[in-house]
Chain A
Amino acid sequence: MAKITYIDHDGTERVVEAQNGETVMEAAIKNSIPGIDADCGGACACATCHVYVDQAFMDKVGEQEEMEKSMLDFAENVQENSRLSCQITVSEDLDGLKVTTPESQH
């Protein structure tokens, strides 16, 4: 279990209890977090689950794989802490994680 805070582009915070093994995207969808579309359901096919990861957790969320890296390259408003939330798996280490969702996924 890990507490994850999703902050939307207006600054509204929503805290969710995420289960180990699910992805940061799945925890968001299950809890109706706005701002994450995840059209492909987590297949790393669509780049509509883009989030900005809190700097303090950049080491803990793991490395980007090649696919994710090149998908993100074409997302809107990419920053160095951009990730696709379907590629981040929840573990105890992520307890307290904060991610911010962009204004639009398209």
Chain B
Amino acid sequence: MGGYTGELTLVGEEPALPYQRPPLSKAYMKGEFAEERLYFKPAAWYEDNNVELILSTRATSIDRAERRVDLEHGGHLEYDALIIATGSRPRALPIDGAELEHVYALRGLADVERIRPQMVAGRSMVIIGAGYIGLEAAAVAQQMGLKTTVLEMAPRVLARVTSPVMSEFYEAEHRRQGVEIRTETSLSKLEGNDGAVTAAVLTDGTKLDADIVLVGIGILPNEALAKDSGIACNNGILVDRDARTSDPRIFAAGDCASRPLVHFGRSGRLESVHNAIEQGKLAAAAILGKPRPNEDCPWFWSDQYDLKLQIAGLSAGYDEIVVRGSPEDRKFAAFYLKNGTLIAVDAINSPPEFLASKKLIMSGAKLSADILADTSITMKEIATNAVAA
């Protein structure tokens, strides 16, 4: 704790204690561990540290002049400083049948509790959207013995977030595992019987059996609370390097915030654990008047089957890809360079490539494609030489 001794209240719309979301589409979805293991802290921690928890309660509006937050069940809280960490919500499927039973999104614990009982071996699951959530869920469903189909509008999986090299690798992997992947495919509607989904109908008329439909077509930032009170927003609540919004007493952190990406010369939202933790620290430090913590290289991970993907940096705008290792070995990395400088890496089962890249990206060192691709030189050597150069 940063030494703060005043009152601290945490308001959350969900009933559960604050928890980790990444396992929801991975090990937790598979039922590998109990809900308690998702919690950041046990209930007693909040009591011991004088943090008042108000759960199952939405904050409905902010009165900035009165420095007051109104709560949905009546009552309000006054603040000296306010952090908005409202996260994001799944983009809704804009087609007929989206309201049928057994059509789900995957965002919170409650979603998993609804989906899991339906995930019975032999049933058909259609996943809309081949982003990380969709593909992670597909890996889980396939391993649980469901007949799994993934539909994607773009010509390749993960099109929005990574390069064709990675898309091709993951597409082949999922097919090898038995998942049916259909790219350049659009959904026309969902059909049901007795209110529950039974089929997904494509725009070309093809009808796919669907006992369960999972929609994973991206998320939208929950910015209404800020926007309605006149705080500047633009695809996210706009914040500065201290996570401060256009109101100096109000901060925003996590998926809902659009922040300066200092190493990449632009602003944007990052949907990741690293970003949520870092912005929380930035906001807390600013509120307590402490020095600004380091802004680290953005990083992400994804678990599918026995593949651990670790991502460092942001690859948008790359002009060169270098592959180190071989996809056939299920252990390789794709480096993304811009003007000879490393800006991102996708590392599959390759922690050294990931960890060295985190440092190399921050250093801005020039790197040659030949050296990065040369597996006879270790990543440690590459990192040491590059930083020294």
Q: Which listed residue (A22, A45, A73, A106) contacts B310, Cβ 8 A? A: A45
Q: Are A30 and B355 in contact (CB under 8 A)?
A: no
Q: Which listed residue (A26, A30, A43, A71) contacts B303, Cβ 8 A? A: A43
Q: Are B296 and A70 in contact (CB under 8 A)?
A: no
Identify which of residues 283-303 in chain B touch chain A, using a CB-to-CB cut-off of 8 Å.
294, 296, 299, 301, 303
Identify which of residues 3-23 in chain B touch chain A, using a CB-to-CB cut-off of 8 Å.
20, 22-23
Q: Mark A10-25, 1 if CB is under 8 A from B, else 0.
A: 0000000000001000
Q: Are A43 and B277 in contact (CB under 8 A)?
A: no
Q: Which listed residue (B22, B45, B352) contacts A70, Cβ 8 A? A: B352
Q: Are B22 and A41 in contact (CB under 8 A)?
A: yes
A-B contact pairs, 14 of them (CB 8 A): A30-B42, A30-B45, A32-B48, A32-B49, A39-B273, A39-B274, A40-B301, A41-B22, A43-B303, A47-B355, A70-B351, A71-B355, A73-B355, A74-B380
Q: Are A40 and B41 in contact (CB under 8 A)?
A: no
Query: Does A56 belong to the interface (CB within 8 Å)?
Result: no
Give A residues with C-beta under 8 Å from B.
22, 26, 29-30, 32, 39-41, 43-47, 67, 70-71, 73-74, 106
Query: Does B40 belong to the interface (CB within 8 Å)?
Result: yes
Contacts of A22 in B (CB 8 A): 37
Q: Are B308 and A30 in contact (CB under 8 A)?
A: no
Q: Which listed residue (A30, A32, A43, A73) contacts B352, Cβ 8 A? A: A73
CB distance from B2 to the nearest CB of A (A): 12
CB distance from A64 to the nearest CB of B (A): 12
- Given contact pairs A26-B37, A41-B22, A74 touches B301 in the complex (Cβ within 8 A): no
Give B residues with C-beta under 8 Å from A.
20, 22-23, 26, 37, 40-42, 45, 48-49, 273-274, 277, 294, 296, 299, 301, 303, 308, 310, 349-352, 355-356, 380
Contacts of A74 in B (CB 8 A): 351-352, 355-356, 380
- Given contact pairs A22-B37, A47-B355, A67 touches B308 in the complex (Cβ within 8 A): yes
Contacts of B20 in A (CB 8 A): 41
Nearest to A34 among chain B residues (CB) is B1
Q: Are B308 and A45 in contact (CB under 8 A)?
A: yes
Contacts of A44 in B (CB 8 A): 308
- Given contact pairs A22-B37, A40-B301, A106 touches B294 in the complex (Cβ within 8 A): yes
Q: Binding site of A, secondary structure by majority: helix, strand, loop or mixed? A: loop
Contacts of A71 in B (CB 8 A): 351, 355
- Given contact pairs A30-B41, A71-B351, A106-B296, A41 touches B310 in the complex (Cβ within 8 A): no
Q: Are A46 and B299 in contact (CB under 8 A)?
A: yes
Q: Are B274 and A43 in contact (CB under 8 A)?
A: no
**Which 6 A-B pairs give the minimum distances between C-beta atoms?**
A74-B355, A45-B301, A70-B351, A41-B20, A71-B351, A70-B352
How far apart sit A9 and B269, CA to CA, in the bound complex (Å)? 36
Q: Which listed residue (B41, B294, B299, B351) contacts A32, Cβ 8 A? A: B41
Nearest to B34 among chain A residues (CB) is A21
CB distance from B263 to the nearest CB of A (A): 16
Q: Which listed residue (A29, A39, A46, A47) contacts B41, Cβ 8 A? A: A29
Q: Are B294 and A29 in contact (CB under 8 A)?
A: no
How far apart sit A104 and B20, CA to CA, in the bound complex (Å)? 23
CB distance from B246 to the nearest CB of A (A): 29
Nearest to B355 among chain A residues (CB) is A74
Contacts of A45 in B (CB 8 A): 301, 308, 310
Q: Are B351 and A67 in contact (CB under 8 A)?
A: yes
Q: Are B40 and A29 in contact (CB under 8 A)?
A: yes
Contacts of A29 in B (CB 8 A): 40-41
Q: Are B351 and A40 in contact (CB under 8 A)?
A: no
Contacts of B308 in A (CB 8 A): 43-45, 67
